[in-house]
């Protein structure tokens, strides 16, 4: 999980835009899930319709108000919960990182197998997986 977060923050995930920058010949650089915009890391993990809906549900679940993070780096930096207790911040970090990771897995499922998870199932998986990490 930490490697995924590091790669996302360093813009090192193989999104279509990043692959295109490296000379990979692609049919299109548009988002595989929504086809509304080019597939950057921030689009895939935040601004794509599905991703934004997932983050909005997660923020509402935590009572944090509207989701309005401008980049994945700022989403993963934990600033939303800096006022909270250390334990609350660690739990929130697990939720944030799990959310990003599962959104990326969902992107790959759509890109490579033409399947994608529905938002309620993604949110449920994020809830279960993030708290599962805390038990270990």
Domain boundaries of the chain, sorted by first residue:
2-135
End-to-end CA distance of the chain: 14
In this prediction the pTM is 0.90
CA–CA distances in Å: residue 102 to residues 26, 39, 85, 122: 24, 16, 26, 7
Using 50, 70 and 90 to split pLDDT, how confident is the model at 98?
very high
pLDDT at 109: 93
Tell me the pLDDT tens digit for each residue of 50-73: 999 999 999 999 888 888 878 898
Tell me the pLDDT tens digit for each residue of 104-132: 999 999 989 998 788 999 999 999 998 77
CA–CA separation, 57 and 24 (whole Å): 35
Using 50, 70 and 90 to split pLDDT, how confident is the model at 80?
low
pLDDT at 132: 78
Tell me the pLDDT tens digit for each residue of 3-44: 999 999 999 999 999 999 999 998 899 998 999 999 999 999
Sign of the CA dihedral running 131, 112, 57, 92: positive
Average pLDDT, the chain: 88
């Amino acid at each position: 999980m930490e490697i995924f977060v590091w790669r996302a923050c360093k813009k090192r995930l193989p999104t279509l835009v990043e692959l295109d920058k490296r000379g990979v010949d692609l049919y299109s650089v548009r988002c595989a899930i929504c086809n509304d915009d080019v597939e950057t890391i921030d689009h895939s993990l935040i601004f794509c319709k599905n991703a934004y809906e997932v983050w909005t549900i997660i923020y509402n679940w935590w009572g944090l108000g509207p989701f309005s993070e401008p980049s994945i780096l700022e989403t993963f930096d934990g600033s939303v919960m800096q006022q909270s207790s250390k334990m609350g911040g660690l739990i929130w970090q697990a939720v944030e990182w799990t959310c990003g990771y599962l959104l990326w897995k969902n992107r790959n499922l759509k890109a490579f197998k033409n399947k994608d998870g529905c938002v309620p199932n993604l949110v449920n998986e994020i809830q279960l997986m993030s708290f599962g990490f805390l038990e270990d």
